[in-house]
Amino acid sequence: MDNFWVNAIFSIVPTLLVGVIFWIVMRSIIRMDRTERKVYARIEAEERARLGLDSPAR
């Protein structure tokens, strides 16, 4: 019975590790994109204000 549990754990651990690594990578990509969009919007707003242009129609 000991071999069964050891085999079960060794079967599940690699899958869990790959899942955690995937989650960390995707979370960081989404956070970077969100931050980049905020910075780009701020820079764009500053440029519009500097040039005296109206905000874009949406």
Residue among 18, 5, 43 nearest 51 (CA): 43
* Contact partners, residue 45, CB within 8 Å, separation at least 6: 55
The answer to whether residue 51 is domain-embedded is no
pTM above 0.75, yes or no: no
Task: Give tens-digit pLDDT for 2-58.
Answer: 799 899 999 999 999 999 999 999 999 999 999 999 999 999 999 999 998 765 655
The answer to whether residue 14 is domain-embedded is yes
The answer to whether residue 13 is domain-embedded is yes
The answer to whether residue 57 is domain-embedded is no
